[in-house]
Structure 1
Amino acid sequence: MNFQIRPLLLITSIVILSLTQTANASRIGIKMPSEPKPASAPTACKSLDDWNEPTHPRRIYGNTWYVGTCGISVVLIATPNGHVLIDSAPEKASVAVRQNILSLGVKLSDIKTILLTHEHHDHIGGLASMQKATGAKVLGRNNILEVLTSGKNDRRDPQFDELSGFSPIANVHGFDDGSTISIGTTQIQQIPMAGHAPGGSGWTWQECEKKVCKNIVFADSLGSISDNTYLYSAPDSLANALKESSERLAKTPCDILITGHGTASDLLSRLDGEKPLSDEHACANYAKAGALRLEDRLKKEVKK
């Protein structure tokens, strides 16, 4: 597999004919996803806040697929040179997520790279078992490699006192902030988004359908949420990092927004056609809302 991590580059439009993708994939034994048969998991979710409740996979756009649960987003980016998975959902949801991937007609071993948004158990609790099932490389920001390989969050995290650990993750590789992950012709650009957690990352890439290309952004959380000990107003807090994350995301070209908790962007409603899928202002609006929440949080801390 042609796999590289390289410095930040502007992503230009990449149009790849589906027939070419299929031919390339066939040559190296990678199966590209296809629309699944009617799923055994329910279409409707009892709760969009349930991290573990199964739901069927959905095509997001092009060769990007939603394979997560009712409450937690997991995304599969299919490429002829090996597929990429972003996040895993909690360990209790790992079987449902793997079943979603298999229902697309791809093999788990076709997943060669796993990325993550941030190091909390609701998003990567199942990452160790997913890595073992796929044999994929896990890429994490250099500042959280010890957290990923130990399964233990540290006091830098605003939610440290309330976090559950996760199983230690194997085959973890670090990357520099602002890197672009290149797999064949697919380029996935990292957006540094610390603040909600020390290792926060957003990810952006392009997908095309009939030569219409869209910028997809999987944004990390901008929530200024903490345990009862942490203060965002403290000198060594992640407040400035969170502000910078909002500013950075607001400037990112964005047609389709994905959030780790789908309720933050009405994701499943948009994927089911109940609301427009694309909105070029979605990332900017999401960033603005996050910045306002942090501002309100800081004001409340000063009043205490």
Structure 2
Amino acid sequence: MRLVTALAIGLAGMMATGAGKADDPLTRPIAPESSKRWLAPQTPVRLYGNSYLVGFGGLNVALIRTSAGLILIDGAVPQAVADVEANIRRLGFSVRDIKLILSTEPHFDHAGGIAALARDSGARVIASAAGAAVLRQGGGDPDDPQAAWLEHFPGVARVRTARDGEVIRLGDVAVTAIATPGHTLGSMSWRWRSCEGKACKTMLFAASLNPAAADGWRFADPAHRRFVEAFRSSIATMKAQRCDIVIASHPLEGDAERRRQLSARRAPNPFAYPTPCLAYAERAEAALARKLAE
């Protein structure tokens, strides 16, 4: 009995120091070299009103505080889950208060950590129908333009689907699903309102509109016409949005400087600049034109 007790105490000590840490299949690192580009540590920040950023230098994860709990948007890569959860706690929230996790796109860099975050929080995961199908199987969509590059990730067992234009409500917050396919056919952006006193702004977490593809995959190939049409439709949708602040799945050029400015002064908010949704759409439109020309 003394031997068993001593071994138990020793094992507990190893766990506390990280040596002998139990393997967690939902947070095993994937694509570590690629992930290094995205996971520069960032201090969590209140972006505006009830909206926060809890992600990284190259990968955004958003948090919305509601009267009935928290909404998380995206989950980064599996090995980043502990840092996302630590950032949530640094803001004074509990991971168990996350009630909904909204997914923008079923790629490992944005969805890889969702399974672990859903397990740790008990939250319900919501995605588009096409996105949900890929989330459940942990990636591996053979039709994805980036299929040759993509890593598999832990599958999400239970995913509720949302249709384009559907309003997701939690407490005093309503989030609207906006289908923006192209980068993946299941890409979904999310829009809501955040207020500081009587001053309210329309926030939009935008799924990627970057026409990326693996070597040899051509957007100009007639067989891939549906992806080009999806991009053009999504670009038009984004142009029509009347938003005040855009959170892109990967931070936009200038966002690092905006964060620096926000830490120095909150008004005027540096993320609230004229027509950000239009600017986001026009960058995507130019990128698509370049890709088709190639």
| Shorter-chain TM band | 0.7 to 0.9
**Residue among 239, 257, 262 paired with 1:250:** 239
Contact 1:131/1:170 (CA < 8 Å) preserved in 2?
Answer: no
1:126 matched residue in structure 2: 113
Kindly state the Cα deviation for residue 49 of structure 1 after the two structures are TM-superposed: 7.6
Higher RCO (Cα < 8 Å, 6 or more apart): 1
1:290 matched residue in structure 2: 284
1:270 matched residue in structure 2: 258
Matches within 5 A, 1:1-304: 50-237=37-224, 238-262=227-251, 264-273=252-261, 276-300=270-294
Contact 1:138/1:171 (CA < 8 Å) preserved in 2?
Answer: yes
Kindly state the Cα deviation for residue 197 of structure 1 after the two structures are TM-superposed: 1.1
Kindly state the Cα deviation for residue 84 of structure 1 after the two structures are TM-superposed: 0.4
Kindly state the Cα deviation for residue 50 of structure 1 after the two structures are TM-superposed: 2.8
Kindly state the Cα deviation for residue 267 of structure 1 after the two structures are TM-superposed: 2.5
Provide the C-alpha distance between the structure 1 equivalents of 2:118 and 2:169, rounded to a whole number of angstroms.
19
The alignment partner of 1:133 has SS state of: helix
Which is helix-richer, 1 or 2?
A: 2
Contact 1:49/1:70 (CA < 8 Å) preserved in 2?
Answer: no
Alignment deviations for residues 112-157 of structure 1 (CA, whole Å, 9 cap, x no partner)? 0000111111111111111110110000111132211110221221
Moved more, 150-159 or 64-73: 150-159
Unaligned runs of 5+ in 2: 1-34, 263-268
Contact 1:128/1:168 (CA < 8 Å) preserved in 2?
Answer: yes
Provide the C-alpha distance between the structure 2 equivalents of 1:135 and 1:189, rounded to a whole number of angstroms.
22
Contact 2:111/2:135 (CA < 8 Å) preserved in 1?
Answer: no
Provide the C-alpha distance between the structure 2 equivalents of 1:239 and 1:150, rounded to a whole number of angstroms.
25
Provide the C-alpha distance between the structure 2 equivalents of 1:201 and 1:145, rounded to a whole number of angstroms.
11
Alignment deviations for residues 165-187 of structure 1 (CA, whole Å, 9 cap, x no partner)? 11011221112122111112311
Provide the C-alpha distance between the structure 2 equivalents of 1:253 and 1:155, rounded to a whole number of angstroms.
35
Larger radius of gyration: 2
TM-score, normalized by length of structure 2?
0.82
Provide the C-alpha distance between the structure 2 equivalents of 1:119 and 1:280, rounded to a whole number of angstroms.
30
Kindly state the Cα deviation for residue 273 of structure 1 after the two structures are TM-superposed: 1.4
The one-letter code matched in structure 2 to 1:279 is: Y
Contact 1:54/1:93 (CA < 8 Å) preserved in 2?
Answer: no
Contact 1:51/1:90 (CA < 8 Å) preserved in 2?
Answer: no
Unaligned runs of 5+ in 1: 1-47
1:44 matched residue in structure 2: none
Kindly state the Cα deviation for residue 276 of structure 1 after the two structures are TM-superposed: 2.2
Provide the C-alpha distance between the structure 2 equivalents of 1:266 and 1:216, rounded to a whole number of angstroms.
18
The one-letter code matched in structure 2 to 1:110 is: D
Number of residue pairs aligned between Structure 1 and Structure 2: 252
The alignment partner of 2:118 has SS state of: helix
Provide the C-alpha distance between the structure 1 equivalents of 2:57 and 2:180, rounded to a whole number of angstroms.
24
Provide the C-alpha distance between the structure 2 equivalents of 1:110 and 1:128, rounded to a whole number of angstroms.
16
